[in-house]
Chains A and B, each alone.
Chain A
């Protein structure tokens, strides 16, 4: 619960900023019918540029890694997650024309509505961390898919650990910044 309290405090002011420009994300930007990104439930614009080109979205999603993982029924960031998110934050800070939607996901060991809320907690934990590392709050938005879009489809911990994730899905903003 500690985290949740902090998240409310930390993000309540940023919520205003995020709200001020909701159109930036466009309606239906993450339609689940869209192309699957490396870890995302759906996003576009992650194919141009190679994984060795530090300015490419592929570098962000594959070289840095667009995904962090969580313990069972938890939304606390692990040290590994923080390491990845710090790099994500640096990249976002140095590539201000990109915005990101952070997708929170859960494994199938939970009820549907609870898992939506749990995925939201995870996405929010990532958002909060990225903001703490200098990314402007109005460039980030969160969404939860709960257990609706697993990455791995077996029903053992081997798959569950891959599905308990938050994915930072970036796209080039039409607005810039």
Chain B
């Protein structure tokens, strides 16, 4: 894991400016299902405090701009339109100049180098009510972690304006794919949420599938064919060292996921053609059977409080979603629409389940409440599958595969409102994304 020193020196206070009282509402984006016009914003800076910080300042500005516009909720006003020239971090903001170009939010920041660290200062202004939003902040990190600094700044801005939790400073573990469709090479890789800083965690010597982060982001579970048979492996992200978890000889194990406290995993074990759900205590290796039906039970996912598990089963004849207590027992079916439902994943907020749905030859990513109500399909394509939640429960990333002999997999993301569907940048073909928690 990247070493990161983050100091949050609260309240870099700006001398109060005579607020030009206006009748406007405080700046806020309410993310609803309706179509919204992206909020225009301006970044005056980040101003380099010395010549050696100049490159860093421009790169940090670029990442922040890309984070915010990437949500689909913000639109950056081009610098050429700016009227006021903000030459230093302490230049008083001339609100009328920013109102004139309809910038609703204004970010003023600076980047300096102090004691071998990059130091970023910034303030956020609500232009039309003529006041600063929240305190100014100062953040510092080693130069290697400059992108994380930028994401942290974006997270503060995003959270203050939308009221949603932060998510930019996060990572995604996924399967990097290459080679022809009938002999796909698959490697585990991890990257920043926006596709930067890709690191490979395994080589291409065997098939690896469906990695999942622990809640603290330090470990990843995945399925590997390295023994010739699907087995579960647990990998330490910092060292990339991994160990196979114990198994019953002659079985296949797959579809693992950590419990929220990280002490247990829930997974599928196949014996004699039948696939059931099991729980394993990671340190003792002790196992407990959670389902006993002759149907296929797979893709289990814990509720954030660890008390329940959502999973898919074809016990009714087709794949459907069920919720049961984390210790096993009676399961309640929650999916009732047309088609087949699979790969349920509990949202980090606890209120929703994301899933894959197959219906009439199309694949969809959708969300529903935990009681199955308010089902909404967010996407539709030849093959979408395997949703994963952003740390704030606002965005879903998933695999989209194109059809045909030349078909290949890509990562896509979509807001849970169904807006802002877009391809996630990866070095090559990619599948099976799993979002980390917000980094510390």
Write the residues of chain A forming the contact surface with B, with a CB cutoff of 8 angstroms.
1, 4-5, 7-8, 11-12, 14-15, 18-19, 22, 25, 27-33, 36, 75, 101, 108-114, 116-118, 120-121, 123-125, 127-128, 141-145, 148-155
Residues of chain A contacted by B298 (CB below 8 angstroms)? 113-114, 116-117
**Cβ distance B432 to chain A, nearest Cβ, rounded Å:** 7
Residue B295 interfacial (CB < 8 Å): yes
* B254 x A113 contact (CB < 8 A): yes
* B228 x A30 contact (CB < 8 A): yes
Known: A148-B207, A155-B404. Is A111-B342 also a contact (CB below 8 A)? Answer: yes
* B401 x A154 contact (CB < 8 A): no
Residues of chain B contacted by A143 (CB below 8 angstroms)? 228-230, 252
Residues of chain A contacted by B274 (CB below 8 angstroms)? 4, 7-8, 121, 124
A73 to B13, CA, bound (A): 64
Which residue from chain B places its CB closest to the CB of A2 in the assembled complex?
A: B294
Known: A4-B273, A113-B210, A150-B182. Is A121-B225 also a contact (CB below 8 A)? Answer: no
A31 to B206, CA, bound (A): 7
Which residue from chain A places its CB closest to the CB of B384 in the assembled complex?
A: A111
**Cβ distance B365 to chain A, nearest Cβ, rounded Å:** 11
Which residue from chain B places its CB closest to the CB of A125 in the assembled complex?
A: B273
Please list 12 pairs of residues, one from A and one from B, whose beta carbons are closer than 8 Å in the complex, sorted by A's number.
Answer: A7-B273, A7-B294, A28-B227, A32-B207, A36-B183, A116-B270, A120-B270, A143-B252, A144-B270, A145-B207, A153-B182, A155-B405
Which residue from chain A places its CB closest to the CB of B431 in the assembled complex?
A: A112
Known: A33-B206, A111-B299, A112-B210. Is A18-B250 also a contact (CB below 8 A)? Answer: yes
Known: A124-B273, A144-B270, A153-B182. Is A31-B356 also a contact (CB below 8 A)? Answer: no
* A118 x B207 contact (CB < 8 A): no
Q: Which of B222-281 contact A (CB under 8 A)?
A: 223, 225-230, 249-250, 252, 254-255, 268, 270-275
* B225 x A32 contact (CB < 8 A): yes
A4 to B294, CA, bound (A): 6
* A114 x B342 contact (CB < 8 A): yes
Q: Which of B156-196 contact A (CB under 8 A)?
A: 180-184
* A154 x B252 contact (CB < 8 A): no
Q: Which of B196-210 contact A (CB under 8 A)?
A: 205-207, 209-210
Q: Which of A25, A117, A144, A153 has most chain B Cβ within 10 Å?
A: A117
Q: Which of A5, A31, A116 has most chain B Cβ within 10 Å?
A: A116
Residue B383 interfacial (CB < 8 Å): yes
- Choose among B184, B272, B314, B315 the residue that contacts A12 (Cβ–Cβ < 8 A): B272
